[in-house]
């Protein structure tokens, strides 16, 4: 193949190459068309867009050149090039596109057949943690943070090319494996001593007095406030209640007196409580609605913020009738836990002249201040496995108990004649052949349990030699064996996923499927199917895919996939600007609810096999009490509790579908303002699958001048006055414009807010803060798509977007392909994906069908390789 | 003010007196030993990935008699301790923000398909310098998206994550374990050596059964094994030497990304501590303005929007004003750093004279995603400073030429780095 071409004959030579390179013989007119329609701009003098067609060879076996021609193909196909449509008549365009399509497809397919579709993929840190949890039978293992954050590639933490290895990364894997193994091992002959703690209400707060004045919390008996002076006398009285009314956010961090987790682990908490209303005379009356709460693990501290709190034990809805609740908390060593009342405001604390904080309260809510009254609480833990040694220990040492291991840790008597004498620095270490055999047996047992496919004999021997070497270095038997395990868990066999080399590559398919749908290693069922070569049956693979989707591990798919696809991991990134949005101050509960909604929605798309158009247009939503109010649902008053449930939306509701979900509207805003540009680009890329091209290269600089713009519209039009900006912005701005009716957290609005100009709104927010903002320009959410179709508002836009379900489905397939295989859609995959779309068209492109079809395709199951 | 704020302020105010232990010469490679008698050269490489406003940064005049630009005025007392450069950039490193990972590598075409980064200046220097300090380099960050951004890249073009926790850095540098902990660590290092042997053998075997592309991935793994092994020997020796001590109390961290300047200030102090205590001689600091949300600018006031959005100011007065204020605050922090380093003796000279401080950006003008005419300032290091070295604005000189000069200043025998074409002899005496 000719790569370097002589000057002077550039064009003809390039075109000759174009023709000759193509075994399928494209119409000769293709080269001619290119010459007529494209070279005028893409020549050595002009090199528009950095492209000079006269020197670009058609050596499609070269990956970089193939990518180049793929972009050329796409832009011609999409009608973006040549810029004037009449430069390339329809027929000629189709012919050109087709000849390119054929040539690139066969070159790419040939590449896949000889070198594979994508390289080995390193496990990301979430997958690694989950693999170890499963291998070691330690469901609570916490080692993710020992590993560096994984680089994003194509937006995901699953792209092979971005999951690199460095000395830092490898050292972190070794440390993480070591930490995990030490946690799996037990050294005591009996389970740790369980601590049992019980407290009545007077011991459920650090001090027996009120904090933040009585409106925030107080002790009560017979529904009446009890003064601190009397409390000492009543300290064992079971009829005293601790009444909490505010979020346990600073400075209300009530936690039980005298409890601290001496050991890390799981603790069972039982407590008695009821939801109450505080009346203005500090009396308690029964609540009408449940109040949600959670526990937050934290270090006990003085009257200061502990930055390190984390929710544990899940959301609990406390009902108006007194009842006993139970949950399990995960605590680290020396931690305690605080009670966090969700969705309740934090009062304003002011330090006047550096003095102690004083508090200010909002007007008393009608009917009373909601809160929770606690009667008693019990803690028990750390909880141990039912058997001892626990399963994790048995994974490592089979039936060898801690005592037996301990007895082998000391050098053994030298009298035994069949022992091998190994001199070490200060003593003689004696290893019996029996011990060595035992070590080797355990290693092989562990590896066959932990590996995702059979490990070759030479690798096993390498690990055996390592153990032997450690024993020679005077390690104890268990240390030496653990070094072998550590090595295996940081070995390339364990750290990398291989792509299936053909449709019958059972173990690789099993691993790919399990990491796709459960973010971890194949479970026993999958491993057994792989071992007995049954996974290659399409029906079995389909049944297994369904099984994983229905299983509990699927939550991990939803979590990780939405974290990246929809940026949900950034949902807490930008705190709302409380000058403009005082109503959102400290509303963690709202943010938590939005996150749950979007995850529930995606779960439902797949599990309930919903049509692809639901992505943008749905007559239902997933809400709890907080979201029902947020979305202004007519029956919000009847929606109680924190649990997310599906509700039908009224026809006129602007909500329904991803575009208008609060979480999406939050991650596409910045906490202060919304931008149609950013939201539009985000939607086009993530949901529609037509990402905007990168901003133009800097030279010559196109400098937008936005001086004088007062409204978003003016800003946009100034911004896109320049033709080179406008061309691309027209593709994504409009979608964002339709979302202008939604504020930074997704509340419907018809006017923007400001600080200075406009109609002034004053008040005291729900946390007692004075606020003042202004209502400014009215929102105009109308626009026009690049193809000319106009829309008045979000309703119209949804209808338009839902009218092209194939594109929505195509995008989803592209997202899933990368996510499942670690390699973005290749040119040769396109035909396969289109045929999947064809097959799914008659039933409205249902999401689970799309996913199933992808799993069955050679993209997922592997191509037969010719050679490498 | 919370306790944490208090203790952080105390930390920043602290005198930072350090008892850096003399290096044990016998531990050092022969090539470096001679250099030890003079005060060793150090460098601190800082990049703000959104840069600064070009107009108030670049001085109008050139040469030695140039007039200080508005941004440089606060540094007037150090006029002869720094050089400001214009007309420098990395050839072929364009593509807006994607150039941020190339600031110290100069790797061309970060937006091209199949792009792979190259070794960064700090890693290159550390490779050549050898393992002369406890940490060959330290890689710090402010508000940094650690997964995706870094100034430090390996020879394989793999990202080395930045450290952004001041307490963690402090522990690493100064907190000395007891004898038992040291023994335990030594044992662990020894064990690691044998594990790495096994991993290398096993991976080489595995690699034989694989195709071309898979092999390439495993090459990274094998490189990593080798690099950890190389460091084990010196790690063992360092483990047996007590860590330097400091009168500083451990710092409290700043985790709130809104407190951008506080964090920047804190990380500069950490860099200073690292250099003063000779924990390392090479520090990078990536100031991830791109990842910085609306941040505290006034007493109790945040910027009207996030840093990135501000940087696309479109000449709107309100935005330009805030950016100017943000830029000035950063220049003030740099001035404070220069003051601190000028007040510390290092051998017979000031620590400033033995420490090169590079401040710059991959963005020449963030407003237009321009990656040419980068704002570059080099202070300290004993160069012939006090100039505005102006190169052609329409045909830039490679920034790597400056990097080569800096490498030579470190005492390394090298005459090329990445896209360099020459050295900048204008600043060497």
User: If you average pLDDT over residues B133-148, what whole number do you get?
Assistant: 96
Q: Quote the CA–CA distance of A683 and A584 in Å, as a whole number.
A: 24
> B105 and B377 in contact (C-beta within 8 Å)?
no
Tokens, residue B391: 């190169």
Is A864 an interface residue toward B (CB < 8 Å)?
no
Is A175 an interface residue toward B (CB < 8 Å)?
no
* pLDDT for res A709: 58
Q: What is the pLDDT of residues B337-350, one digit of tens each?
A: 999 999 998 888 99
- DSSP code of residue A857: S
Tokens, residue B238: 């360092």
Q: Quote the CA–CA distance of A399 and A859 in Å, as a whole number.
A: 44
Q: What is the pLDDT of residues B277-312, one digit of tens each?
A: 999 999 999 999 999 998 999 887 889 889 998 998
> B250 and B167 in contact (C-beta within 8 Å)?
yes
Taking CA–CA distances from B301, the nearest residue in chain A reads A579
Q: What is the pLDDT of residues A708-737, one digit of tens each?
A: 556 677 767 766 666 667 777 888 888 999
User: If you average pLDDT over residues A246-275, what whole number do you get?
Assistant: 83
* pLDDT for res A418: 43
DSSP result, B100-111: GGGTTT--S-TT
Q: Quote the CA–CA distance of A73 and A70 in Å, as a whole number.
A: 5
Q: Quote the CA–CA distance of B196 and B191 in Å, as a whole number.
A: 9
Run of H or E residues at A591: helix A588-607
Tokens, residue A143: 């080692």
Distance from CA of A367 to the nearest CA of B (A): 36
Say yes or no for a CB contact (<8 Å) between B305 and A120.
Answer: no
**Matching residue, tokens 């000779």:** B278
**Which of A151, A493, A697 lies at the smallest CB-CB distance from B94?**
A697
Res B71 pLDDT > 50: yes
* pLDDT for res A673: 86
Which 612-671 residues of chain A touch chain B by CB within 8 A?
670-671
User: If you average pLDDT over residues A818-838, what whole number do you get?
Assistant: 97
Run of H or E residues at A772: strand A770-778
* pLDDT for res A703: 55
Taking Cα atoms as reference points, which of A706, A718, A598, A604 lies closest to residue A662? A598
**Which of A149, A470, A868 lies at the smallest CB-CB distance from B212?**
A868
Contact list, A707 vs chain B (CB under 8 Å): 314-317
Say yes or no for a CB contact (<8 Å) between B160 and A491.
Answer: no
User: If you average pLDDT over residues A454-481, what whole number do you get?
Assistant: 93
pLDDT band at A210 (very low <50, low <70, confident <90, very high): confident
Average predicted confidence (pLDDT) for chain A: 87
- DSSP code of residue A120: -
Question: What is the distance, to the nearest Å, from the Cα of residue A699 to the centroid of all Cα atoms in its chain?
Answer: 37
Q: What contacts A2, CB < 8 A, 6 or more positions away?
A: A13, A17, A57, A59
Q: Per mean pLDDT, which range of A197-201, A420-424, A567-571, B137-141 is the poorest?
A: A420-424
Torsion over CA of A19, A22, A26 and A27, rounded to 10 degrees? 20
Res A419 pLDDT > 50: no
- DSSP code of residue B296: B
Taking CA–CA distances from B252, the nearest residue in chain A reads A307
Distance from CA of B155 to the nearest CA of A (A): 10
Res B23 pLDDT > 60: no
Run of H or E residues at B398: strand B397-398
User: If you average pLDDT over residues A263-272, what whole number do you get?
Assistant: 94
DSSP result, A158-183: --GGG----HHHHHHHHHHHHHHHHH
> A338 and A372 in contact (C-beta within 8 Å)?
no
Q: Quote the CA–CA distance of A1 and B422 in Å, as a whole number.
A: 37
Q: Quote the CA–CA distance of A783 and A792 in Å, as a whole number.
A: 7
Whole-angstrom CA distances from A797 to A669, A697, A754, A794 are 19, 31, 27, 5
Which 811-830 residues of chain A touch chain B by CB within 8 A?
none
Say yes or no for a CB contact (<8 Å) between B217 and A151.
Answer: no
Taking CA–CA distances from B95, the nearest residue in chain A reads A697
Res A513 pLDDT > 90: yes
**Which of A122, A160, A670 lies at the smallest CB-CB distance from B305?**
A670
If one counts every other C-beta atom within 10 angstroms of the C-beta of residue A20, the result is: 12
Q: List residues bridging with B302 in a β-sheet.
A: B296
Average predicted confidence (pLDDT) for chain B: 90
> Is the preceding peptide bond at A389 cis, omega within 30 degrees of 0?
yes
User: If you average pLDDT over residues A551-556, what whole number do you get?
Assistant: 98
pTM listed for this prediction = 0.90
* pLDDT for res A696: 61
Q: What contacts B90, CB < 8 A, 6 or more positions away?
A: B99, B102, B103, B106, B108, B362, B371, B374, B398, B399, B400, B418, B419
Distance from CA of B98 to the nearest CA of A (A): 10
Residue B181's φ and ψ, nearest 5 degrees, are -65, -40
Distance from CA of A669 to the nearest CA of B (A): 10
* pLDDT for res A719: 60
Whole-angstrom CA distances from A548 to A518, A544, A812 are 7, 6, 19
Q: Best mutation site among A119, A126, A459 for testing chain B: the one with the most B CBs within 10 Å?
A: A119
Run of H or E residues at B324: helix B317-342
Q: Quote the CA–CA distance of A452 and A135 in Å, as a whole number.
A: 10
**Which of A116, A164, A171 lies at the smallest CB-CB distance from B213?**
A116
**Matching residue, tokens 């920034």:** B399
* pLDDT for res A731: 82
> A315 and A359 in contact (C-beta within 8 Å)?
no
pLDDT band at A698 (very low <50, low <70, confident <90, very high): very low
Is A576 an interface residue toward B (CB < 8 Å)?
no
Distance from CA of B158 to the nearest CA of A (A): 6
**Matching residue, tokens 């100069």:** B106
Q: What is the pLDDT of residues A452-465, one digit of tens each?
A: 999 999 999 999 99
* pLDDT for res B5: 52
If one counts every other C-beta atom within 10 angstroms of the C-beta of residue A541, the result is: 22
Contact list, A573 vs chain B (CB under 8 Å): 293
Q: Quote the CA–CA distance of A644 and A595 in Å, as a whole number.
A: 11
Taking CA–CA distances from A868, the nearest residue in chain B reads B211
Q: What is the pLDDT of residues B201-245, one digit of tens each?
A: 999 999 998 988 899 999 999 999 999 999 998 899 999 999 998
Cα torsion A116, A118, A123, A126: sign: negative
**Matching residue, tokens 């068309």:** A33
* pLDDT for res B27: 42
Tokens, residue A801: 């977007």
Q: Quote the CA–CA distance of A737 and A495 in Å, as a whole number.
A: 45
Q: Quote the CA–CA distance of A520 and A555 in Å, as a whole number.
A: 12
> A628 and A589 in contact (C-beta within 8 Å)?
no
If one counts every other C-beta atom within 10 angstroms of the C-beta of residue B125, the result is: 26
pLDDT band at A483 (very low <50, low <70, confident <90, very high): very high
Contact list, A124 vs chain B (CB under 8 Å): none
A752: left (phi over 0), alpha (psi -120 to 50) or beta: beta
Tokens, residue A335: 């931690």
Res A144 pLDDT > 60: yes
Helix-strand-coil percent breakdown of chain A, rounded to 5? 40, 15, 40
Torsion over CA of A834, A836, A840 and A842, rounded to 10 degrees? 60
Say yes or no for a CB contact (<8 Å) between B198 and A463.
Answer: yes
Is A462 an interface residue toward B (CB < 8 Å)?
yes
Question: C-alpha angle B357/B362/B365, rounded to 5°?
Answer: 115
Q: What is the pLDDT of residues A300-323, one digit of tens each?
A: 765 445 557 788 899 999 999 999
**Matching residue, tokens 């091998």:** A420
**Which of A671, A698, A709 lies at the smallest CB-CB distance from B372?**
A698
Is A712 an interface residue toward B (CB < 8 Å)?
no
**CB pairs A-B closer than 8 Å:** 207
Contact list, B156 vs chain A (CB under 8 Å): 164, 166
Say yes or no for a CB contact (<8 Å) between A152 and B147.
Answer: yes
Whole-angstrom CA distances from A583 to A475, A568, A744, A770, B302 are 62, 22, 12, 11, 18
Contact list, B310 vs chain A (CB under 8 Å): none
DSSP result, A387-401: SSS-HHHHHHHTT--
**Matching residue, tokens 């393992």:** B131
Distance from CA of A152 to the nearest CA of B (A): 6
Whole-angstrom CA distances from A429 to A477, A478, A688 are 11, 14, 67
Question: C-alpha angle A195/A200/A203, rounded to 5°?
Answer: 80
Say yes or no for a CB contact (<8 Å) between A483 and B314.
Answer: no
Distance from CA of A650 to the nearest CA of B (A): 35
Say yes or no for a CB contact (<8 Å) between A868 and B306.
Answer: no
Q: Quote the CA–CA distance of B260 and B254 in Å, as a whole number.
A: 9
Res A867 pLDDT > 80: no
Q: Is A202 helix (H, G, I), strand (E, B) or coil?
A: helix
Taking CA–CA distances from B2, the nearest residue in chain A reads A304
Res A704 pLDDT > 80: no
Residue B414's φ and ψ, nearest 5 degrees, are -155, 145
Say yes or no for a CB contact (<8 Å) between A149 and B161.
Answer: yes
Taking CA–CA distances from B201, the nearest residue in chain A reads A462
> Is the preceding peptide bond at A248 cis, omega within 30 degrees of 0?
no
Tokens, residue A627: 């979201």
Residue A276's φ and ψ, nearest 5 degrees, are -135, 170
Q: Quote the CA–CA distance of A44 and A491 in Å, as a whole number.
A: 50
Distance from CA of B404 to the nearest CA of A (A): 25
Q: Quote the CA–CA distance of B324 and B331 in Å, as a whole number.
A: 10
Say yes or no for a CB contact (<8 Å) between B293 and A671.
Answer: yes
> A262 and A195 in contact (C-beta within 8 Å)?
yes
Taking Cα atoms as reference points, which of B10, B27, B58, B39 lies closest to residue B250? B10
* pLDDT for res A237: 93
DSSP result, B103-134: TTT--S-TTSTT------HHHHHHHHH-S-SS
* pLDDT for res A12: 44
**Matching residue, tokens 């994906």:** A833
Contact list, A456 vs chain B (CB under 8 Å): 205-206, 209
Q: Quote the CA–CA distance of B249 and B15 in Å, as a whole number.
A: 10
Distance from CA of A166 to the nearest CA of B (A): 5
């Amino acid at each position: 193949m000719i790569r370097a071409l002589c000057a002077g004959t550039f064009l003809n030579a390039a075109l000759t190459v174009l023709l000759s390179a193509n075994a399928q013989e494209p119409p000769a007119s293709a080269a001619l068309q290119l010459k007529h329609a494209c070279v005028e701009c893409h020549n050595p003098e002009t090199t528009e867009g950095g492209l000079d067609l006269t020197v670009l060879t058609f050596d499609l076996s070269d990956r970089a050149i193939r990518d180049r021609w793929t972009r050329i193909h796409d832009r011609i196909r999409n009608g973006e090039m040549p810029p004037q449509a009449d430069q390339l008549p329809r027929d000629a365009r189709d012919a050109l596109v087709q000849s390119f399509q054929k040539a690139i497809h066969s070159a790419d397919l040939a590449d896949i057949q000889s070198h594979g579709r994508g390289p080995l993929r390193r496990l990301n840190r979430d997958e690694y943690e989950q693999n170890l949890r499963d291998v070691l039978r330690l469901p609570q293992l916490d080692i993710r943070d020992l590993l560096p954050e994984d680089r994003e590639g194509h937006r995901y933490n699953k792209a092979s090319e971005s999951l690199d290895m460095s000395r830092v990364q490898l050292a972190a894997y070794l440390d993480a494996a070591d930490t995990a193994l030490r946690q799996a091992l037990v050294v005591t002959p009996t389970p740790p001593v369980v601590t049992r703690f019980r407290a009545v209400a007077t011991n459920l707060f650090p001090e027996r007095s009120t904090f933040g004045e009585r409106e925030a919390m107080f002790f009560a008996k017979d529904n009446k406030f009890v003064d601190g002076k009397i409390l000492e006398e009543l300290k064992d009285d079971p009829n005293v209640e601790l009444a909490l009314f505010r979020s346990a956010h600073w400075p209300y961090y009530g936690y039980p007196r005298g409890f601290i987790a001496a050991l890390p682990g799981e603790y069972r908490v039982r407590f008695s409580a009821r939801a109450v209303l505080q009346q203005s005379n500090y009396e308690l009356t029964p609540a009408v609605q449940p109040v949600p709460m959670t526990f937050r693990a934290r270090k006990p501290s003085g009257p200061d913020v502990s930055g390190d709190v984390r929710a544990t034990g899940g959301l609990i809805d406390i009902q108006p009738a007194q009842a006993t609740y139970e949950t399990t908390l995960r605590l680290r060593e020396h931690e305690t836990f605080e009670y966090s009342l969700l969705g309740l405001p934090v009062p304003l604390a002011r330090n006047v002249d550096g003095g102690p904080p004083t508090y200010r309260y909002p007007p008393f809510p009608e009917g009373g201040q909601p809160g929770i009254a606690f009667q008693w609480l019990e803690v028990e833990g750390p909880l141990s496995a039912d058997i001892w040694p626990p399963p994790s220990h048995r994974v490592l040492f089979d039936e060898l108990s801690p005592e037996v291991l301990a007895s082998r840790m000391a050098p053994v008597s030298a009298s035994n004649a069949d022992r091998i004498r190994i001199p070490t620095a200060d003593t003689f270490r004696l290893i019996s052949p029996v011990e060595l055999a035992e070590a080797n047996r355990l290693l092989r047992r562990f590896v066959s349990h932990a590996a995702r496919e059979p490990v070759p004999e030479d690798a096993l021997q390498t690990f055996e030699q390592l153990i032997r070497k450690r024993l020679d270095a005077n390690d104890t038997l268990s240390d030496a064996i653990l070094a072998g395990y550590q090595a295996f868990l940081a070995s390339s066999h364990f750290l990398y996923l291989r792509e299936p080399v053909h449709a019958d590559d059972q173990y690789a398919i099993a691993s790919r499927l399990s990491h796709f749908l459960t973010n971890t290693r194949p479970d026993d069922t999958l491993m057994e199917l792989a071992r007995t070569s049954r996974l290659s049956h399409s029906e079995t693979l389909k049944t297994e895919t369904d099984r994983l989707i229905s299983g509990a591990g699927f939550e991990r798919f939803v979590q990780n996939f939405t974290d990246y696809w929809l940026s949900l991991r950034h949902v807490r990134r930008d705190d709302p600007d409380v000058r403009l949005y005082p109503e959102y101050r400290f509303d963690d509960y709202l943010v938590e609810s939005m996150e749950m909604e979007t995850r529930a929605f995606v779960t439902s798309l797949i599990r309930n096999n919903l049509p692809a158009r639901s992505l943008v247009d749905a007559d239902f939503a997933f809400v709890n009490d907080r979201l029902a109010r947020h979305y202004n649902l007519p029956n919000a008053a009847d929606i109680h509790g924190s649990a997310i449930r599906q509700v039908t939306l009224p026809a006129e509701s602007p909500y329904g579908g991803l575009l208008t979900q609060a979480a999406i509207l939050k991650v596409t805003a910045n906490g202060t303002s919304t931008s149609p540009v950013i939201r539009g680009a985000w939607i086009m890329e993530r949901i529609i699958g037509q990402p905007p091209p990168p901003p133009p290269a800097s030279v010559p600089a196109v400098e937008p001048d936005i001086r004088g713009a007062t409204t978003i519209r003016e800003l946009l039009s100034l911004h896109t006055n320049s033709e080179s900006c406008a061309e691309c912005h027209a593709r994504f701005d409009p979608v964002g414009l339709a979302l202008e009716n939604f504020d930074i957290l997704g509340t419907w609005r018809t006017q923007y807010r400001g600080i200075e100009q406009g109609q002034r709104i004053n008040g005291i927010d729900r946390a007692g803060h004075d606020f003042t903002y202004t209502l400014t320009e009215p929102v105009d959410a109308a626009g026009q798509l690049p193809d000319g179709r106009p829309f008045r508002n979000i309703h119209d836009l949804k209808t338009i977007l839902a009218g092209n379900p194939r594109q929505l489905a195509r995008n989803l397939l592209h997202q899933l392909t990368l996510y499942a295989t670690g390699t973005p859609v290749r040119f040769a995959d396109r035909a396969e994906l289109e045929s999947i779309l064809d097959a799914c068209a008659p039933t409205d492109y249902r999401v689970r069908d799309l996913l199933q079809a992808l799993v069955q395709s050679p993209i997922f199951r592997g191509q037969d390789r010719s050679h490498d | 003010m919370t306790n944490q704020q208090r203790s952080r302020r105390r930390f920043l105010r602290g005198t930072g007196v350090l008892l850096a232990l003399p290096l044990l010469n016998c531990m050092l490679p022969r090539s470096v030993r001679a250099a030890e008698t003079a005060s060793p050269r150090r460098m601190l490489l800082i990049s703000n990935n959104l840069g600064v406003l070009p107009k108030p940064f670049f001085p109008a005049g050139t040469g030695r008699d140039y007039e200080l630009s508005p941004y440089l005025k606060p540094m007037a007392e150090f006029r002869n301790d720094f050089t400001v450069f214009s007309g420098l950039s990395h050839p072929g490193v364009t593509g807006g923000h994607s150039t941020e990972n190339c600031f110290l590598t100069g790797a061309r075409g970060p937006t091209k398909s199949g792009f792979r980064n190259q070794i960064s200046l700090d890693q290159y220097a550390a490779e050549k310098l050898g393992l002369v300090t406890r940490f060959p380099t330290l890689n710090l960050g402010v508000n940094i998206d650690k997964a995706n951004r870094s100034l430090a890249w390996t020879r394989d073009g793999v990202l080395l994550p930045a450290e952004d926790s001041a307490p963690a850095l402090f522990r690493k540098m100064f907190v000395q374990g007891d004898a038992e902990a040291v023994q335990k660590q030594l044992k662990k290092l020894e064990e690691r050596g044998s594990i790495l042997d096994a991993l290398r053998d096993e991976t080489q075997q595995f690699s034989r059964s694989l195709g071309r592309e898979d092999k390439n991935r495993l090459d990274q793994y094998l490189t990593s094994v080798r690099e950890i092994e190389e460091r084990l020997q010196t790690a063992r020796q360092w483990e047996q030497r007590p860590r330097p001590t400091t009168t500083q109390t451990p710092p409290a961290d700043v985790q709130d990304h809104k407190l951008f300047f506080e964090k920047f200030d804190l990380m500069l102090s950490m860099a200073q501590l690292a250099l003063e205590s000779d924990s390392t001689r090479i520090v990078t600091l990536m100031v991830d303005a791109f990842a910085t949300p609306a941040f505290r600018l006034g007493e109790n006031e945040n910027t009207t929007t996030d840093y990135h959005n501000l940087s696309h100011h479109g000449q709107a007065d309100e935005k330009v004003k805030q950016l100017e204020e943000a830029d000035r605050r950063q220049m003030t922090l740099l001035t404070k750093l220069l003051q601190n380093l000028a007040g510390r003796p290092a051998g017979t000279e000031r620590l400033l004279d033995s420490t090169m401080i590079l401040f710059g950006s991959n963005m020449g003008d963030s407003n237009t995603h321009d990656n040419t005419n980068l704002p570059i300032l080099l202070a300290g290091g004993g160069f012939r400073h006090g100039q505005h070295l102006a190169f052609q604005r329409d045909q830039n000189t490679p920034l790597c030429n400056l990097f080569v000069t800096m490498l030579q200043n470190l005492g390394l025998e090298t005459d090329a780095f990445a896209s360099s074409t020459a050295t900048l002899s204008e600043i060497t005496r």
